[in-house]
Chain A
Amino acid sequence: MPMVNRRVNVNRIAVHAALIFYTLIATFPIALVLINSMKSRSAIFGDPVALPTPSTFDLIGYQQVLEKADFVLYFGNSIVVTTVSLLLVLIAGAMAAWALGEYRFKGNTLVALYMAIGIMVPIRLGTVSILKMIVGMGLINTLTALILVYTAMGLPLAILILGEFMAQIPRDLREAARCDGVSEYRIFTAVILPLIRPAVATVAVFTMVPIWNDLWFPLILASGDGKQTITLGAQQFIGQYVTNWNAVLAALSLAIAPILILYVVFSRHLVRGLTMGAVK
């Protein structure tokens, strides 16, 4: 008995050692940026892996970034674009997933396949047509343009995830409602929507990350006049001050922090949503 216990302990230690080892690989580069963003220029080059000490601690990078670039505004733009797109993806996606999963109608499979093409094909290949349309609609250099494109981009995967998830909801629930003569719209809003909440985190992570991090469409559709997203703002800033590592590292830290915080908030729900049968 003690033998077995010890073996279990040894195994457990090995498991933790392996996990800690890879966690270090995953987080070390990020930590490196955060650490060095708070050091003086000579210390960044002198000993990059050292933590800032009172003598090397220096926030000059942050000061320069905040002076030279409107990161608060860029951050606001990113928040607006990301949350509005996410909301639209969730609402429109849930409606479509519900229609495709719940009702049998002619062409059901065809529409489902059609909606799935977008998972496989990058929308970027159609950039010029998108730009022409956006110009035609007078939406160039607006956040609305980005929101529309991102909504289209996020829908296919959202429909897939939400569809799989809805399939798990017991049939009795909606049938009971139908027997009571409740309308289809009401079944959707009152019965189904509350039940898919756990899947929202999953969709959110898979939708938000590409939107938040996208460089391409902000560059093409909304690159000026204070409409930059934070990723574009950071890229433009890096391009402009590329040799000023204090400022660049500070800019990177400012771009990293919000998404990491959002993620930590969401991460518990992410796995719950997945394990309740979303993507299989």
Chain B
Amino acid sequence: MTTQPAQRRAPKTGRFDNSVVKKTVMAVSGIIMILYLLAHMVGNLKAFSGPESFNSYSGWIRTIGEPALPAQTALWIIRLVLLAAVVLHFWAAISLWRQARRARPVPYVTKKRVQQSFASRTVRWGGLILALFIIWHILDLTLGAVNPVGHDSTPYDRLVASFSNIPITLFYVVSMVLLGLHLRHGIFAATQTLGQTNKRRERAVNGLAYLVAGVITVGFLLVPLSVAFGLID
């Protein structure tokens, strides 16, 4: 059978058209968010030291560097870096998702999974759900707009009010489990994308992915579950 060879397609020349560059943007923005999550988790655990400790920690974040710096400077720097990380992470994900859709225009009638993990399979939809969770989370606990006690309250009051409500706690728990799955695949993938994995390190990298994902998930679940079960009030 003779085939007509297709025309050689000209590659795009932009740095950010390159799929590996997009993946690198995804990896680096992901690492920034993981570092933030670890700091956020430590802050949350102050709830176990009581309302004063929790509220004064929250106040301290807003006054770092005072009086040399105006109020909330550090907070806004952190917020802007995080916003940039979220936007870039999202851009890279959508762009690669669209490329993947173009790459398989006709679906298989039958397709089996050979070795992919649940975490790797759910990373895209899980990420979208997490984006919705973040929006709700800011409206609830940062701004207090959708919080039962409203915005005119202390952070500790908002925390207790939210997690005394069973549906809110359940939504939070589901989101944290999704976050754990997202991190389990994401940490491995970021290490691979940055060219740092090999056969010898594979176990260590997977171990690190499980460890960080596990610590962050459990760390974030401790406070809401303690409120829900009445250990904190």
Decide whether A and B assemble into one complex: no
Report which B residues bind A (CB closer than 8 A): none
